[in-house]
Amino acid sequence: MTKYRIENDSMGEVKVPENAFYAAQTQRAKENFPISTLRFDRAFIQALGYVKQACALVNQELGLLPEEVANYIVKASQMVIDGEVDEHFVLDVFQTGSGTSTNMNANEVIANRANYLAGQDGADVRIHPNDHVNFGQSSNDIFPTTLRVSALLAIRLQLIPALNYLQKAFHQKGAEYADVVKTGRTHLMDAMPLTIAQQFGGYERQLDLGVERLESSLERLRELPQGGTAIGTGINTHPEFGRRFADKVSELTGENFVEAIDHFEAQATVDAPVETSGQLKTIAVSIMKIANDLRWMNSGPNSGLGEVQLKALQPGSSIMPGKVNPVIEESVAMVCAQVIGNDTTIMIGGQSGNFELNVMLPVVSYNLNQSIVLLANAARNFADQSVSGLIVKKEHIADKIGKNPILVTALNPVIGYDLAAKIAKTAFAENRPLKEVALEMTDLSEEELDKALDPFKMTRGGFTE
C-alpha cells in the first residue's frame, strides 16, 4: 500500500505520497484534473528549471533573497534542468488555464530538494515554495515565460538543425542524379521535363524558407513576460527584475532573450506562440507535399510511376506477400497532420485570453512543443530512412520521357500552337514517338527536331530550336 505524509497549505491538510517531492498544492491539482495521460515534456520542464534558477539568481543579486537560500534554490533548479526529478512533475496538461498548478508543482519540488540539500549540509535554513522559490513571481508571468523559453530552445536546438539536415539530404541526392531528366507533371498529368536536381532543389528551397520563417518568428518569441507578475504591472517585484531576468536566462541557456517591450501584451496574449505555430504549420504543409511527391514517384513498382525506388524497410501487407509500402512517407504525413491540428488548438487558445491573462496557456505550450519535437524527429527520420537511400530509376525515366507528347511545346515558336497540338494528339492516339509524327507533319529535318526536342535543353528554359 502507498504510504502517505500530511502536508498543509492555505486550505488545510492534504495526504501526499510519502516519497513525492511535491506537496499539498500539487496533490490537490493532481486530484482535481484526472483528465488525460498528457504531461509536460522534457523541454518544458527543463525550461521551467532555467526560469526558476534565473529568478533566484536575480533576486539574490538584487538583495531580495538571502544568498544561502538562493544558492540552494539554484542547486535544486539544476536538478530540474538536468531531468533528475521529472517523475515528480505529475500534473495533467488540462488544468487551470494560467498554469498555476504546474508553477506550484515546480515551486514545491524545488523547495523540497533545496531543503534536502540544505539538510545534508547541516545548514540552518528553511526554503518555502511561495516565499522563496516563487519570490517576485506569479504563475501569470512564469508560465508564459517558460512557454516561450522552451519553444525557442527546442526550435533552435532540435527543429532548425533537423530541417537543415533534411535539406542537405535532398541537395546531395539531387546532385547525385543531376543529369537525369524526367517528365514534369501538372494536374498529375504529363508536362514539360525537368531534372531531378531541379525537382529536389524545389524541396530544398521549401525547407530553407521554413527555417527563415522560424527565425523571423523567434524574434517575437524572445520577448519574455517575466517581471510583470500578476497582471503586467510588476507588483511585488523589483523594477529591474524583468530586464535582469532576461539577461540571466540568456546567460544560462546561451540564447538571446529580452524583456517584453510591453508586459501587458506579453501576459494577456500568446500572439508570439500563435505566430510560431503558424510557421510550424507552414513547414508541415511543405513537408507533407514533399512526402506525397515521393510516394507518387515510388508508386508501382510496375503499375505506377516507378520513377524512384525507396528503401524496403518492412513488409507492407499481412496478406499480400512481397508488398512493400512507403512507410516513412506515411509516417511523415501523419506527423504533418498532427502539427496542422495542433495549430488549430493553439489558434483557439490564442483567442481565449480575457483582459490581462490568457487562460489556455498549458494546452498552447503542450501543443507547440509537441509540434516542434514531432517535426524535428520526422525530418531527421525522413532524411535518414528515405531520402538518403532512394534510388532514381534512370532507365525507366529515359524510356518514358521520349514518348511524352507534351514535349511538342518546344516547337510552338516554330510551327505554332495549333499544328503542335495536332502532332501531340496524333502521337498520343497512335502511341508513336513524338519525333516520328513531327517528321511527317512538318517540314523540319530530323536534325532540327533532335535539337528542338532535346528534353535536357528544355530544362534550361528559353528556346530550344
**Rounded-to-integer distance, Cα 287 and Cα 454, Å:** 32
Q: What is the pLDDT of residues 80-101, one digit of tens each?
A: 999 999 999 999 999 999 999 9
d(CA 364, CA 347): 8
The arithmetic mean of pLDDT across residues 166-175, rounded, is: 98
> Residue 438 burial by CB count (10 A; 0-12/13-18/19+): exposed, middle or buried?
buried
All three cell numbers of 212 = 527563415
Amino acid letter for position 143? F
The pLDDT tens digits of the residues spanning 398-434 come to: 988 878 899 999 999 999 999 999 999 999 999 888 8
The pLDDT assigned to 350 comes to 97
Q: Which amino acid is at 219?
A: E
Q: What is the pLDDT of residues 323-351, one digit of tens each?
A: 999 999 999 999 999 999 999 999 999 99
Picking from 244, 224, 219, 283, the residue whose alpha carbon sits closest to that of residue 64 is 244
Q: How far apart are CA 338 and CA 453, in angstroms?
A: 45
Instruction: Give me the active site residues, please.
Output: 187, 317
Residue 465 has pLDDT above 80, yes or no: no
pLDDT at 2: 83
Percentage of residues in the chain having pLDDT higher than 70: 100
How does residue 463 score in pLDDT terms, banded at 50, 70 and 90? confident
CB 346 within 8 A of CB 274: yes
Cell of 395: 532507365
CA distance 20 to 74: 20
The x, y and z cell numbers of residue 223, run together, are: 520577448
Tens-digit pLDDT profile for residues 44-71: 999 999 999 999 999 999 999 999 999 9
pLDDT in tens, 99-133: 999 999 999 999 999 999 999 999 999 999 999 99
Q: How confident is the model at residue 464 (pLDDT cuts 50, 70, 90)?
A: confident
**For residues 225 and 146, what is the distance between their CA atoms, to the nearest angstrom?**
9
pLDDT digits (tens, 9 = 90+) for 285-321: 999 999 999 999 999 988 999 999 999 999 998 999 9
Which domains does the chain carry? Answer: 20-135 (1.10.275.10), 141-221+265-393 (1.20.200.10), 402-458 (1.10.40.30)
| Beta pairing partners, 16 | 5
Contact 50, 148 (CB under 8 A): no
Angle at 92 between CA 91 and CA 95, to 5 degrees: 100
Q: What's the length of the chain? A: 465
Assess whether pLDDT exceeds 70 at residue 29.
yes
pLDDT tier, 247 (very low <50, low <70, confident <90, very high otherwise): very high
Write down the mean pLDDT value for the chain: 96
At 1, the amino acid letter reads M
> Is the pLDDT assigned to residue 268 strictly greater than 70?
yes
- 223 φ/ψ angles, rounded to the nearest 5 degrees: -75, 120
